[in-house]
Amino acid sequence: MRQSGVIVRVPGKVNLQLSVGPKESDGFHEVVTVFQAIALYDDVTVRFAEKGERLALIAGTAIALEITGGTSNGVPIDTTNLAYRAAQTMIDSYDLEVSAENPLSITLKKEIPVAGGMAGGSADAAGVIVAMDALFELGLSRTEMERIASTLGSDVPFSISGGVAIGRGRGDQITPVLAQGEYHWVLALSNQGLSTPAVYNECDRLREGLTVTAPTANDQLLAALRAGDAKALGVALTNDLQSAACSLRPALRLVLDVGREYGALGNLVSGSGPTVAFLVDNEEKALDLAVALSASGVVGGVLRTSGPTHGARVIQTLH
């Protein structure tokens, strides 16, 4: 019996390192980043329409998109959605049989914060790629799926691989990193997202007149991961976009201060922000910091999680 759909679970991420090179002639920046997938997930369901089912198709397409979950507000339900773009890319690349007579339904159950520097949209795109590979029995290798992913966004390939990895180029050239241990995180969320292009533009503005060198991997950070040394990792956390994010959102500095006061091993703005990630010793310290951040009045919400975790994977087949 042919499967009628699949559900894929895909994680968010924190950037343990984000080093940004100078702005290039095409407007982009070379980066070196170290990703860690964390146990905060979106569930992506891709299925064929049931017989007689009427789907609300996105105009001009054979794809319907539904958004649910705790962080669904503000997610577009049109052709700008990365999950839709991933589906259309897979259809075009592999000549898949999807039409108005045989449409696809995509449901995103979201728990990863939106526009929070945690790859929420990228995770959904990765989930769709893995789901459609399974649904259409394409038998793609992870490398082939990551190649498709890299055409959609710099964080999408890592969302497929998960674990811990170095991203180079635009962040989409993924190399797995040897890492031991479990790491405990407290995430301070903002009520408002930050635009990644705006943060990069501010980074360029702050760097005007300075000599900016090509980015390289942080040897101390990689050694800490190999050793499973959370304290050493906390010291080595770094993000070249942090100053720009704090410039655009000065309240982030107050959030960072609260974490330092309560003994976080390290902290940084995740990616382009505005989520602030705090590395702590254990679950007890995580709870203490979460309570302090909630009481501070300077954050929109607080989550406790851990990493690393797996990349996008099928968790259920629908018949």
CATH number of the domain at 161, please. Answer: 3.30.230.10
pTM equals: 0.93
R_g of the chain computed on alpha carbons: 20
Same domain, 158 and 33: yes
Cα–Cα distance for residue pair 235/20, rounded to 1 Å: 19
Please confirm, yes or no, whether 13 is among the known catalytic residues: yes
Same domain, 77 and 209: no
CB within 8 A of 56, min separation 6: which ones?
64
> Residue 156 sits in which domain range?
5-177
Q: Is residue 208 part of a domain?
A: yes
The catalytic residue among 43, 124, 133, 155 is 155
Cα–Cα distance for residue pair 18/103, rounded to 1 Å: 40
Per-residue pLDDT, 192: 82
pLDDT digits 0-9 by tens, 5-19: 999 999 999 999 999
Average pLDDT along the chain: 93
Same domain, 212 and 264: yes
Same domain, 84 and 197: no
Q: Is residue 317 part of a domain?
A: no
Q: Is residue 318 part of a domain?
A: no
What ranges make up the beta strands (E) of 49-116? 63-69, 104-110
Domain count, the chain: 2
Q: Name the β-bridge partners of 302.
A: 188
Extract the residue ranges of the chain whose pLDDT is less than 70: 1-2
Among 149, 177, 205, which residue terminates a domain? 177
The proportion of the chain whose per-residue pLDDT surpasses 70, expressed as a percent, equals 99
Please confirm, yes or no, whether 155 is among the known catalytic residues: yes
Q: Is residue 221 part of a domain?
A: yes
Among 132, 156, 177, which residue terminates a domain? 177
Same domain, 165 and 241: no
Q: Is residue 247 part of a domain?
A: yes
State the burial class of residue 313 (Cβ atoms within 10 Å of its Cβ: 0-12, 13-18, 19+).
Answer: middle
Among 143, 177, 211, which residue terminates a domain? 177
Query: Chain centroid to CA 35: how far?
Result: 9
Q: Is residue 312 part of a domain?
A: no
Is residue 203 a contact partner of residue 244, using CB atoms and an 8 Å limit?
Answer: yes
CA distances to 17, 197, 206, 221 from 210, rounded to whole Å, are: 21, 20, 9, 25
